Amino acid sequence: MPTRASTRQRQSSVVILPLALVALLVLGLVAAGFVARERATSTTLAHGAAAAPPWPAPADKAARASAAQLPNVYGLKLAEHIHTHLTITIDGVAETVPGQIGLDEKHHFATALHTHNTSGIIHIESPVKRDFTLGQFFTNWDVRLDSRHVGAEGGDIGETLTVFVDGHRRVGDPASIRLRDLDDIDLVIAPAGTIVRPATPFDWPSNYH
């Protein structure tokens, strides 16, 4: 015949088991949420230097590519090959987007996001179809980008950053902008209170259409 103590022990075990399962489920959800946030943070935010222009292509391309979560895809068969144009204007002067960001053909190195020259054309060449962001490109470039700054330029010195995509004003953090084929992205920094307009639309060469 079961004693009162043994009955109480079985009841406690029955209670503890579901509680343990609930705890494991909660921990799993928290971990999954952390991973999702970490992945979003690494690709939709730009981690780069708060330096003044000009901004050269980084010397350590592999380190910047790693920070941007962009592996070396040199020589791989491409599933996607599209292009986005970037213009940066500071106080009415266009800043150069250098060539060789994310690209070193001599050492057989290329990330999915790279530039060949100073045209401002970002090449998106990937062996898998996926979204890439402007934040990843700036991380790859090692230039800070957020809702108020490009490098050292922007909100801390009495100026504002205005963002346009295909001539339409875009609010929020520009680092989260997805790079789309033939999009024209303008980052315009000007004194606060200035009427800001996008740059003249980029004239895409015929071979890009």
Which structure tokens are listed for 104?
Answer: 């070193």
Residue type, 61: K
């705890």: which residue's tokens?
Answer: 23
Per-residue pLDDT at 122 exceeds 80:
yes
| The pLDDT value given to residue 15 | 42
C-alpha to C-alpha distance for 44 and 177, rounded to whole angstroms: 8
Per domain, the residue ranges of the chain are: 61-208
Per-residue pLDDT at 22 exceeds 90:
no
Q: Which residues pair with 124 in a beta bridge?
A: 82, 113
Strands (DSSP E) found in the chain? 80-90, 93-95, 103-104, 109-110, 113-114, 121-126, 149-150, 153-154, 159-165, 168-170, 183-191
pTM higher than the cut 0.85? no
User: What CATH fold (topology level) applies to the domain 61-208?
Assistant: Ferric Hydroxamate Uptake Protein; Chain A, domain 1 (2.170.130)
Which structure tokens are listed for 13?
Answer: 């075990």
The pLDDT tens digits for 46-67 are: 999 999 999 999 999 999 999 9
Indicate the range of 41-50, 92-101, 135-144, 188-197 predicted with least confidence. 41-50
